[in-house]
């Protein structure tokens, strides 16, 4: 899908690309490339690395459109970049540093923020977990122990990927 969508994008006059902020996840931008093909990214720049693509039904306004897991096609290049960024930076993310205090001598899930837990220590759904990191007996993440979860999904029934502010900043720097 990436190759097909990239080819379509290369055929589009970039000045004509309509870009809007995705109202259901304000970190994301939608870039309408053709009548149907839409690119999703963490940047206003339509040339940035896409999170993925989807085909919106004709005659649908993107400002009210909810991206479904069935139609969303993730970009494997973005997933690889995201995993590399999380692996290298999660131990410096305040959100997870605080949460690690609840996981001494255990593995802690590193998740996206599509769905916020209803209560403390609620385990996130498996397809919202980017990976796991080992936490020592003092409640500190052990550097170099991050392991990717291959069942993670950028888009699922909980919505589109949403990152912590710290990881988002790192992604924006990289794309």
pLDDT value of residue 16: 58
CA distance 110 to 21: 26
Which SS3 state, helix, strand or coil, does residue 80 take? helix
Q: Parse the chain into domains and list their residue ranges.
A: 2-76, 82-174
pLDDT value of residue 171: 98
> pLDDT tens for residues 121-144?
678 999 999 999 999 999 999 999
Handedness of CA 116, 155, 101, 104 (dihedral sign): positive
pLDDT value of residue 121: 66
pLDDT value of residue 62: 80
Q: Which residues in the chain come in under a pLDDT of 50?
A: 1-13
| CA proximity to 82, closest of 7, 154, 5, 8 | 154
- Give the N- to C-terminal CA distance of the chain in Å, as an integer: 20
């Amino acid at each position: 899908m990436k190759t097909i969508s990239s080819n379509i994008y290369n055929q589009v006059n970039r000045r004509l690309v309509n870009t809007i902020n995705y109202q259901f996840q304000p970190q994301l931008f939608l870039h309408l490339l053709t009548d149907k093909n839409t690119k999703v990214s963490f940047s206003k720049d339509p040339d940035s690395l896409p999170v993925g693509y989807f085909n919106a039904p004709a005659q649908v306004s993107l400002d009210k459109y909810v991206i479904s897991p069935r139609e969303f096609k993730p970009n494997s290049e973005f997933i690889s970049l995201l995993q590399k960024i999380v692996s290298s930076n999660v131990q410096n993310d305040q959100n997870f540093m605080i949460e690690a205090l609840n996981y001494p001598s255990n593995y802690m899930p590193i998740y996206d923020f599509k769905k916020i837990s209803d209560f403390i220590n609620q385990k996130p759904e498996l397809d919202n977990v980017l990976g796991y990191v080992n936490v020592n007996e003092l409640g500190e993440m052990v550097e170099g122990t991050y392991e990717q979860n291959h069942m993670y999904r950028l888009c699922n029934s909980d919505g589109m990927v949403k990152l912590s502010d710290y990881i988002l900043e790192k992604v924006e720097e990289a794309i």
